[in-house]
Amino acid sequence: MGSSTASLASREHTNEIDFALIGHQESWRAAADVLAVLRGPEHTPLPDGEIKDILPWIPPRAVCHVEIESTNGGVKAHGLYIDSFIPPDHLEAAYMHDNIARVRAAAAYAIKAGAKIVSLGGFSSILIEGNFDQLPERHETVFTTGNSLTVAFIVQGIKKMCARDGRDISRSTLLIVGATGDVGSGCARCLGPLAKRVLLNARNPDRLRRLARELEADGVQVEIATSLHEFSAEADLVICAASLASPSLLLGHIAPDAIVCDAGYPKNLSPLAQMPGVKVFFGGLGQITAGMKFTPDLHGILNRHPFPDVAHGCLLEGMALALERRFEPFSQGRGFITQARVDEIETIAARHGIYLAPLYNGAGPVEDAPHCLTAFTRVEITGVSLLQA
């Protein structure tokens, strides 16, 4: 597919691959942009209809080479971004078998390329968490969901927003949507002991009860429900970490001045949500202060954020471990993210200049434009329909 792909293939054989990142695009616009780079500038862009026909037939493959640098002595690490080419509208349970097969094929590509550590991004980590036996034989390659660093950045973001808003977490009611997933349960363990009360929402009541018992043993006041309308109190801190196929979550029973972290990929919050006065930010994102270099250049395509060198924590975890030369499966399975593990990966990331990204939402930076959080409307930014604040 074009000269860009041929150039990338030659680089795979000449560079040692420290890490690989497995991901997918959350919008058709982003998928079209990736295809345009793979086809090369000499080809005219494909019509939207053709892209939707072609994408499901593209096997997982490396899209670009990635080079990152540490602020600690200029250490560098080299890697690949491998797109699984899961169609943006194929994230529902009906496509589970096909999507797992795509992640397996992307993992096999990473193993063949000689990657020492592989981070699973977006729905890839959701599909595989707790099911690492679904991955191919791994030889010298290790895999991480990257969820520990994602939790670290979500927790940091909540604390930063609370400080900015003068909010005392110890007097707050914390709601976690998607609480029994790896990210949700990790957030519950890290933030639950700090809050006055914790509301846990998820689809599986047995998992909810197990998590509640664990938190209660640590003295946390917990309430569980499979429906967001069943809770007896309004939450003023909310973390949305549900594994939804599209932005469809409606939050009704929350405080009018609540702080809401949307940490979903795709985003959790529905564009139809009506929550005037609620303060929203996109969570789980970090920034590599020494920078990332893509070859071919996919800045603005893989990095669709208003700030440079920003990526999801799930991908940054593998990069941080590669810079640390700790090629180990740091985050694996569901339910193993603890405060101690979060502290450890935070320290590793910070040592190499990887920190919480500047907070923003669909309307732009949160810290520079506090007024942008007051009224919700549906708008289009970079071709993706999002809840804007």
Decide if 155 contacts 342 (C-beta within 8 A): yes
Task: Give me the CATH number covering residue 236.
Answer: 3.40.50.720
Q: What pTM was computed for the model? A: 0.90
CA end-to-end span of the chain, whole Å? 39
pLDDT of residue 102: 93
Statement to judge: residues 121 and 193 lie in one domain: no
**Residues 86 and 40 both lie in one domain:** yes
Over residues 359-376, the mean pLDDT reads 65
Please name the residue that has the structure tokens 């599986």: 204
Tell me which of 9-18, 88-97, 340-349 is least confident: 9-18
Verify that 252 and 382 share a domain, yes or no.
yes
Tokens of 246: 């599209």
292 and 232 in a common domain: no
pLDDT above 70: percentage of residues in the chain: 90
- Asked if pLDDT for residue 35 goes beyond 80, the answer is yes
Q: How many domains is the chain partitioned into structurally?
A: 2
Question: 30 and 134 share a domain?
Answer: yes
| 67, pLDDT greater than 50 | yes
Region 292-306: mean pLDDT is 88
So what's the pLDDT on residue 130? 62
Same domain, 369 and 247: yes
167 and 245 part of one domain: yes
| Cα–Cα distance list, 66 to 80, 102, 118, 296, 379 (Å) | 5, 21, 13, 9, 31
Per-residue pLDDT reduced to its tens digit, 111-155: 999 999 999 988 787 777 666 777 877 778 999 999 999 999 999
pLDDT of residue 31: 92
Same domain, 132 and 235: no
Q: 250 lies in which domain range?
A: 153-283+359-388
| Positive/negative CA dihedral, 134, 16, 14, 62 | positive
